[in-house]
Structure formats: C-alpha cells, structure tokens
Amino acid sequence: MEAIITASRLAHDLTADAPPVLLDIRWQLSMAAASGAPAFDGRAEYAAGHIPGAAFVDLDRELASAPGKRGRHPLPDLAEFGAAMRRAGVSADRPVVVYDGGQGWAAARTWWLLHWTGHPDVRVLDGGLAAWEGPLSTETPEPAEGDFRPVPRETGLLDAAGAAALARSGVLLDARAGERYRGDVEPIDPVGGHIPGALSAPTNENVGPDGRFLSADELKARFASLGALDGTQVGVYCGSGVSAAHQVLALAVAGIPAALYVGSWSEWSADPSRPVAVGPDPQ
C-alpha cells in the first residue's frame, strides 16, 4: 500500500466512480496561551475553503483524548474515534485520503491512527492543501455513514517503558527540533531534553523546500545514517505524538516499519522519576 499520494493523482481519483473518502485535518501546534495570540481554528480554515467533498476532522477532539498525565495528545477513545470516522464516511472497503494545511503532521496522525486500527488503504496528500491546484469549496458535505470499526494492531504502538527499552535495543528517534532535543529550550513541556539513548531526527528534514517528502531513496539513506537498517526495530516520539507520526509516515515511504510512542515527551517529562538526557549526546 502506498502511504502518500500526489495532488494530480488525487484529482484523477476523485473523478472515479468510487472516489476515496477525503478528510481535512487542518491543525497547528498552538502557542496562543503563551503569546496571547488567537488560537488556530482549523474548522474556520476548512469553512473558508477545502478540497470539494472533504469532511473536517478535529484532531484535538476526535484524534486524541483530553491532555493529562498520558500526554498532550493521548490516544483517543477508540469507540469515539470510530464514530467520528464513520460520521466522516470512512468505510473499511473504501480508500481514504487525508490532508492538512501543508505541514503534514496532523494528516500523518490521522493516517497512523487509521492504519494502526486496521484500515487497509489510507494515504496522505503529499504537500497538503498547498499542493492542491484544483478548485476549493465552501460547501459542507453530508457523507453517508461509513462502516469502519477500529481494531488495534498488535504492533506499531509504544508506551513509555517500550520506548525506553527500544532506545537500548534498537533505534528510537526524537522527531522534535534539535534545540528541544538538546534541552536548550522547552516552550511547552515541564522539562527540556530527551529520552536517554534517543537520536535526534527532526521531522522537518523529511521534506524538501516545497513541503513534499524527499524521495524514498533519500529518506532511506537519511534513516540508514541514523541506524535504521533492515531488521532493526525503530520507534519515534516527539512532543505529543503528532509530528512523530509524520516521521513514521516518512519511514513508511522509505519502506521501514516503525512504532509510535504516542505519549511522547509530554508524557515522559510529566513523571519526575523518569531519566532525562540533555545536550547533543544521546545518553
């Protein structure tokens, strides 16, 4: 199964007799509480213009549970997640394409959740809405109820203990910016630094200047340089399990399976008993 789709291929597929279900996941990591700026409103962005036929999905409310000790974007209640997907028209036998405003993080979180809970055909629009060259719509569709029932896979998900173990036995990648990995700054979570043994691998290095993924060969070379070789177990975390999903997606494009630590640094750093490493050295 392909993990990403180009805008031109999506435009073609939307004209087919059985077009894919299209999900708009406009979202941004908001610093509004700290800066006093208005919070980003994905639903308002969607209402102002979206790819025709797309249904809006709210990342904070439908793709995550309320923030707390399990992190800022813990796993959603699966019954509620399944209901949200069915409202958006998602069925088990129909392809799904997800997109966001262009950063790719929110779309990747949706891709990962659907893939992890058993949907067989989910792709992310490479480059997001910025790559779309067709018309936009302000009409809100009313999709027919889907039949998707999420059933979690036995692999692909890490908890805190699993992430700590993988940092010793395999490759654990930290998808945040390098300065947060080193602990130079920490604008959101209680403590700066990284999980001991994790390697710095900022998500923004997965894409080119146009926001689209590097080629599969380029990504494979990038991850190989970090030790993600054939047969190596790989896991990824970030601040709250959103940008790390983009890294899992990039690894999938490169043909490398990887697990996601959903709680990520926001869960890890909330427990003062857990060790913290600082500086450029993984340990």
Active-site annotation, residues: 238
Nearest alpha-carbon partner for 101 in 28, 21, 31 = 28
Rounded CA-CA distance 260/241 in Å is 7
Residue 121, φ and ψ in degrees, nearest 5: -150, 90
Task: State the number of CA atoms in the 13 A half-sphere of 149 facing the CB.
Answer: 1
Sole residue written with tokens 């069915």: 86
Give the angle subtended at the CA of 98 by the CAs of 97 and 100, to the nearest 5°.
150
Residue 159 structure tokens? 């908890």
Rounded CA-CA distance 204/210 in Å is 11
Whether the Cβ atoms of residue 226 and residue 172 lie closer than 8 Å to each other? no
Tell me the Ramachandran region of residue 180: left when phi exceeds 0, alpha when psi lies from -120 to 50, beta otherwise: alpha
Q: What one-letter code names the amino acid at 91?
A: S
Residue 85 structure tokens? 């997907």
DSSP for residue 203: G
Nearest alpha-carbon partner for 240 in 114, 65, 121, 104 = 65
Cβ-proximal residues to 181 (8 Å cutoff; 6+ apart), any chain: 174, 193, 194, 198, 200, 202
